Amino acid sequence: MHTSLSDEIACTAARLVVQEGLEWGPAKRRALRQMGLPGRTALPDNARVEAAVREYIQLFCADTQPRELRALRQLALVWMERMAAFRPHLGGAVWHGTATRLSDIYLQLFCDDSKSAEIALMDQRVGYEPRRVSAGLRGESVEALSLGCRSPELGEMIGVHLLIQDLDDLRGALRPGARGRVPRGDVSAVRRLLQDTNEPPAR
């Protein structure tokens, strides 16, 4: 695919990610439709889309996004502490620093029993919706317990998705990806991010 077309698709997808809170896959597919391109058109990889998202945020959201990101990380930490028994790890845009108030929170839970986290939510009298999402450790489809939680700082409801992983998968949870960065962080790592509001996002 010609580089300029790839960049144009990435920039269109980035705008959809930031303005509408779409995940990267759906954003890329909608970008094709908005640009009138065939569905078989080669898509830019996630690294290129992420670079475009960061550039868009820097250009158009630099005055609001840091506060929104911090609020999402604070809410993520609340749920990580509530679900501490299941070794929660924060991933996605909230971890990597590209999230806005429209972004959802994705927490990986590592469970001995796939139903144990669900029982914990019931015990806490938390309403949730079971579903399957393509947000596993390797992008595979996994069981998710999805709920809405109000962010006091943002004054609105935020989607929180608890992704159920097998306990054996924990060993590879922090293995660096292709670009050498840590793909997610545990409770201690998220607390460190929140210690200084000027700390750069995880890369």
Cβ atoms within 10 A of the Cβ of 55, count? 13
- SS3 letters for 87-148? CCEEEHHHHHCCCCCCCCEEEEEEECCCCHHHHHHHHCCCCCEEEEEECCCCCCEEEEEEEE
Q: Confidence band (pLDDT; 50, 70, 90) for 2?
A: low
> Model confidence over 96-126: pLDDT tens digits?
999 999 999 999 999 999 899 999 999 999 9
The whole-number pLDDT of residue 81 equals 97
Distance between CA atoms of residues 71 and 49, nearest Å: 23
Distance between CA atoms of residues 53 and 58, nearest Å: 9
Distance of CA 16 to the CA centre of its chain: 15
Distance between CA atoms of residues 158 and 104, nearest Å: 6
How big is the CA angle at 39 (ends 34 and 43), to the nearest 5 degrees?
Answer: 85
> Model confidence over 27-42: pLDDT tens digits?
999 999 999 999 899 9
**What pTM does this model have?**
0.89
Residue whose C-alpha is closest to residue 189's, from 173, 167, 166: 173
Q: Confidence band (pLDDT; 50, 70, 90) for 199?
A: very low
Q: What is the number of residues in the chain?
A: 203
Q: Confidence band (pLDDT; 50, 70, 90) for 140?
A: confident
